[in-house]
Chain A
């Protein structure tokens, strides 16, 4: 999951759009008597739970291809694999949409620390995505611990100049929905390289944003304002190392030595993959999507191989059950979600330019866990329509329609007034593995994964019949 925090550009484009007269179309009230929705829901569920291939597909994508970071051969292998899969389930409209992809190469990286008169000790680490490196040279400095925004604000420039800032803010365990606690921490200016670089610090070390209690580091995308001149190396360490470092710093000065060859090498292009079953009645589009890229380690299983496999499953099920779809059902698998977001911006720009009517967009990028609901980012009258379908969904464990934000790759479509929804899954396990080498196929349960695809197919079926 790549959460989007860059409020300003979104706000700006929304502002520009609002200068035009928004198209307000009356909501069509369709009463369809020919479907028994309880039966249709069961038919979809039975097909997927007994014949679904999403799990086996995920196995191929994660074990056969593995990580598929933007601008790497792994990504292009994933593109070819996906096209082949889509063909094999009988989809003939498949095309690529090239998007800009930044080339960032992690290279070698190491972090060592030394307490007082001790020896250098190596600590597990991961550079932030798109971070500056040290040019392969040692960057050494004293570590300054910061636990809160008020501590940062109380520091004078002199206290931070040429220091290595260690921000040690844990995800708040008491928040039930871990996506919420993740967002709170991730939005903190404390872990922004842009903010820390302006203090004169030489590098930024953060405690990983994770619910796990082990020492696995979890990556994060670096963020700078467009006009930021100063850019510093930024990296994360696992929570165990973070706890140990905090302890050490209580009694003595600790020096860090950082060596990273990470560097950005301009841009290339990577394609989004688009596949669709054309509408029998019209060519309005219902779009569902997931991200095809992943980080450059682990296997990108829960983030977001599960989403890719689920989207393919939805199309397979429409085909297998011979459902006559009124509108075009389209899957978009986005490029460059993790370290740039160019794929989603490209798709939104395309829809705008072509003025292609989109009825609805659905995203799945929160791990392939047991589904619990849909987050609905749309006008109240649209929400109310979906609320009316609650009882059809309840036997499938889908009860939560109360969240109102879409934050995944479909979010740029919001400025085009397209109703958005995202699959809401159980959140307890996701941030144990998210953006880490632990994000592997064995963390995914077949029934949970399939049940998510069931809920998605059911919702798309309802939208297709009623909107």
Chain B
């Protein structure tokens, strides 16, 4: 271990880091590929034709990047369709006013019928727990929990607010409410609604859950101070069974052995915006890793594999299938890294692994510092590689600057224009550098 740590700081590695970064910043294709994916294919929810197009696209890009082998991995994915949707409230003069809204992903709709009721507002889960069921019965529950801006790490604020998105429908149904409205999980100061996944518990009735933007939520809160407000929801969304789809995999075979190092992001996106930061950025960064190994002629000891996971957003079936297949085929995995937090300037790498491995990676910190990467304290890695982690594989996630992500995450605003070329490429450089070190030392 000691020998490795010392070895890890060598001049040779520092030169290789610089070669990797220079190659990517000068010749990286990630930014143009992201433009192609977001502008020519656009958003690509599981089960849509656009997703299938992106499968073909990723296959082709991996081949162009120089993968020795490219294949599709079959995945059964849930099909959820949004359809038409509208949410209205009755204003003081008796007129119906439309609110900007999105149904949450995997939510049931109203079957195209109007569902009307009085809105009651709660600010927290605790407040909701205290409400007697007869006050909720036949009402519409508005969960108005704001994104906590005081957290410097926005992911913490997101996780806190995430409880509302996940459980609002179930809680509403338990007390006989008609449907749930949640304030979006958003750090932005605008009116853009942020969709995202929700799940129904067993044994509760499946009431719809919708989300509204911050401005609308504030306005609704003000209105509710003075009087009763009636809301009317009409939506067609719902689950439409399952379908066969694919994750896309490409690799450069190991020169020494066949044990696998995985780099991946998710190929699907929500059905709004362009899925640029989430997670087109991660896809093109992962492909960039492979291309850079090829272009620089780095002789990789182990197999470097890129996985473009299917269905992260509303099922994580791609990640689960990948883990299952790896387990069944007893394929040795050395390491996996996910990139799914936006294509922003990298600041660190979050490590979910035992202390021995963690400390070894931390001993490389001086190699990473010139690239703005200093933070190795995180202990979480992404959801698509969680099944690998459960099998005992050391996993990691790229940690980019988190300040802007939740302004646009899961919205129509998640577009190519929000991505900066240098930030995106620098993230790819850091991933490639880490994989170079792991490949060499593990």
**B150–A46 CB distance below 8 A:** yes
Query: With A and B bound together, what is the CA distance between A445 and B422 in angstroms?
Result: 17
A426 to chain B: closest residue by CB? B345
Query: With A and B bound together, what is the CA distance between A397 and B153 in angstroms?
Result: 9
**B150–A213 CB distance below 8 A:** no
A399 at the interface (CB under 8 A from B): yes
Binds A, one of B19-27, B123-131, B214-222, B354-362: B19-27
**B150–A448 CB distance below 8 A:** no
| Interface residue from B22, B150, B420 paired with A50 (Cβ < 8 Å) | B150
- List of A residues within 8 angstroms of B154 by Cβ: 447
**B374–A399 CB distance below 8 A:** yes
Residues A399-451 near B (CB distance < 8 A) = 399-400, 426, 428-429, 432, 445-448, 451
**B403–A451 CB distance below 8 A:** yes
A81 at the interface (CB under 8 A from B): no
Q: Which of the listed residues A174, A400, A428 has the most CB atoms from chain B within 10 Å of its own CB? A: A428
| Interface residue from B25, B149, B345, B372 paired with A447 (Cβ < 8 Å) | B149
**B420–A445 CB distance below 8 A:** no
**B423–A49 CB distance below 8 A:** no
Beta-carbon contacts of A50-68 to B below 8 Å, as 1s and 0s? 1000010000000000000
Query: With A and B bound together, what is the CA distance between A448 and B154 in angstroms?
Result: 12
| Interface residue from A45, A173, A372, A432 paired with B152 (Cβ < 8 Å) | A45
Beta-carbon contacts of B135-170 to A below 8 Å, as 1s and 0s? 000000000000001101010000000000000000
**B21–A426 CB distance below 8 A:** no
**A445–B150 CB distance below 8 A:** no
- List of B residues within 8 angstroms of A447 by Cβ: 149, 154, 187, 403-404
Beta-carbon contacts of A156-187 to B below 8 Å, as 1s and 0s? 00000000000000000110101000000000
- List of A residues within 8 angstroms of B422 by Cβ: 173, 178, 211, 428-429
Q: Which of the listed residues B26, B404, B423 has the most CB atoms from chain A within 10 Å of its own CB? A: B404
Q: What is the minimal beta-carbon distance from A367 to any residue of chain B, in angstroms?
A: 12
B266 at the interface (CB under 8 A from A): no
B375 at the interface (CB under 8 A from A): yes
Query: With A and B bound together, what is the CA distance between A395 and B374 in angstroms?
Result: 12
Query: With A and B bound together, what is the CA distance between A381 and B26 in angstroms?
Result: 40
**B372–A372 CB distance below 8 A:** yes
- List of B residues within 8 angstroms of A364 by Cβ: none
Q: What is the minimal beta-carbon distance from B350 to any residue of chain A, in angstroms?
A: 14
**A50–B21 CB distance below 8 A:** no
Q: What is the minimal beta-carbon distance from A260 to any residue of chain B, in angstroms?
A: 32
Q: What is the minimal beta-carbon distance from B226 to any residue of chain A, in angstroms?
A: 26
B426 to chain A: closest residue by CB? A428
- List of A residues within 8 angstroms of B25 by Cβ: 173-174
**B423–A429 CB distance below 8 A:** yes
Q: Which of the listed residues A50, A211, A397 has the most CB atoms from chain B within 10 Å of its own CB? A: A397
Q: What is the minimal beta-carbon distance from B179 to any residue of chain A, in angstroms?
A: 31
Query: With A and B bound together, what is the CA distance between A399 and B325 in angstroms?
Result: 41
Query: With A and B bound together, what is the CA distance between A399 and B152 in angstroms?
Result: 14
Interface residues on B, range: 20 to 34
| Interface residue from B375, B420, B426 paired with A432 (Cβ < 8 Å) | B420
Instruction: Assess A451 versus B22: contact at CB under 8 Å? Given A428-B345, A428-B426.
Output: no
Q: Which of the listed residues A45, A173, A448 has the most CB atoms from chain B within 10 Å of its own CB? A: A173
Residues A377-408 near B (CB distance < 8 A) = 395-397, 399-400
B370 at the interface (CB under 8 A from A): yes
A326 at the interface (CB under 8 A from B): no
- List of A residues within 8 angstroms of B152 by Cβ: 45, 49, 395-397, 451
Q: What is the minimal beta-carbon distance from B97 to any residue of chain A, in angstroms?
A: 27
A216 at the interface (CB under 8 A from B): no
**B345–A370 CB distance below 8 A:** yes
**A397–B26 CB distance below 8 A:** no
Question: How many of A's residues come within 8 Å of B, CB to CB?
Answer: 27
**B423–A428 CB distance below 8 A:** yes
- List of B residues within 8 angstroms of A49 by Cβ: 149-150, 152
**B375–A399 CB distance below 8 A:** yes
- List of A residues within 8 angstroms of B57 by Cβ: none
- List of A residues within 8 angstroms of B374 by Cβ: 399-400
**B404–A445 CB distance below 8 A:** yes
Query: With A and B bound together, what is the CA distance between A50 and B21 in angstroms?
Result: 37
Residues B339-373 near A (CB distance < 8 A) = 345, 347, 370-372
B442 at the interface (CB under 8 A from A): no
Beta-carbon contacts of B404-416 to A below 8 Å, as 1s and 0s? 1001000000000
Beta-carbon contacts of A176-207 to B below 8 Å, as 1s and 0s? 10100000000000000000000000000000
Query: With A and B bound together, what is the CA distance between A451 and B149 in angstroms?
Result: 11
B406 to chain A: closest residue by CB? A447
**A174–B22 CB distance below 8 A:** yes
Q: Which of the listed residues B21, B152, B189 has the most CB atoms from chain A within 10 Å of its own CB? A: B152
Q: What is the minimal beta-carbon distance from B18 to any residue of chain A, in angstroms?
A: 8
A56 to chain B: closest residue by CB? B189
B421 at the interface (CB under 8 A from A): yes
Q: What is the minimal beta-carbon distance from B374 to any residue of chain A, in angstroms?
A: 5
Residues B368-409 near A (CB distance < 8 A) = 370-372, 374-375, 401, 403-404, 407
Q: What is the minimal beta-carbon distance from B323 to any residue of chain A, in angstroms?
A: 33
**A50–B407 CB distance below 8 A:** no
Q: What is the minimal beta-carbon distance from A62 to any residue of chain B, in angstroms?
A: 16
Q: What is the minimal beta-carbon distance from B423 to any residue of chain A, in angstroms?
A: 5
- List of B residues within 8 angstroms of A428 by Cβ: 345, 420, 422-423, 426
- List of A residues within 8 angstroms of B26 by Cβ: 173-174
Q: What is the minimal beta-carbon distance from B348 to any residue of chain A, in angstroms?
A: 10
**B370–A176 CB distance below 8 A:** yes
**B149–A213 CB distance below 8 A:** no
**B420–A429 CB distance below 8 A:** yes
B347 to chain A: closest residue by CB? A397
B423 to chain A: closest residue by CB? A428
- List of A residues within 8 angstroms of B21 by Cβ: 174, 176
Query: With A and B bound together, what is the CA distance between A211 and B424 in angstroms?
Result: 14
Instruction: Assess A426 versus B372: contact at CB under 8 Å? Given A50-B149, A451-B152.
Output: yes
B401 to chain A: closest residue by CB? A370
- List of B residues within 8 angstroms of A446 by Cβ: 189
**B423–A448 CB distance below 8 A:** no
Query: With A and B bound together, what is the CA distance between A447 and B152 in angstroms?
Result: 9
Query: With A and B bound together, what is the CA distance between A98 and B370 in angstroms?
Result: 42
Q: What is the minimal beta-carbon distance from A29 to any residue of chain B, in angstroms?
A: 29
Q: Which of the listed residues B372, B404, B426 has the most CB atoms from chain A within 10 Å of its own CB? A: B372
Query: With A and B bound together, what is the CA distance between A396 and B374 in angstroms?
Result: 13
**B421–A213 CB distance below 8 A:** yes
Q: What is the minimal beta-carbon distance from A30 to any residue of chain B, in angstroms?
A: 28
Residues B196-246 near A (CB distance < 8 A) = none
**A176–B150 CB distance below 8 A:** no
Query: With A and B bound together, what is the CA distance between A397 and B426 in angstroms?
Result: 18
**B404–A448 CB distance below 8 A:** yes
- List of B residues within 8 angstroms of A432 by Cβ: 420
Q: Which of the listed residues B347, B370, B407, B422 has the most CB atoms from chain A within 10 Å of its own CB? A: B422
| Interface residue from A372, A395, A397, A445 paired with B407 (Cβ < 8 Å) | A445
- List of A residues within 8 angstroms of B401 by Cβ: 370, 397, 426
Q: What is the minimal beta-carbon distance from A389 to any residue of chain B, in angstroms?
A: 16
Q: What is the minimal beta-carbon distance from A406 to any residue of chain B, in angstroms?
A: 20
Query: With A and B bound together, what is the CA distance between A46 and B151 in angstroms?
Result: 8
Instruction: Assess A176 versus B371: contact at CB under 8 Å? Given A49-B150, A448-B403.
Output: yes
- List of B residues within 8 angstroms of A429 by Cβ: 420, 422-423
Residues B4-30 near A (CB distance < 8 A) = 21-22, 25-26
Query: With A and B bound together, what is the CA distance between A429 and B423 in angstroms?
Result: 8
- List of A residues within 8 angstroms of B372 by Cβ: 176, 372, 400, 426
Q: What is the minimal beta-carbon distance from A11 to any residue of chain B, in angstroms?
A: 30
Give 4 new A-B contacts, CB below 8 A, not counting A46-B150, A174-B25, A174-B26: A211-B421, A370-B401, A397-B347, A448-B404
Task: Show 17 residue pairs from A and B whose CB-CB distance is below 8 angstroms, ordered by the A residue.
Answer: A173-B25, A173-B26, A211-B422, A213-B421, A370-B401, A372-B372, A396-B152, A397-B347, A400-B372, A426-B345, A428-B422, A429-B423, A445-B404, A445-B407, A447-B403, A448-B403, A448-B404
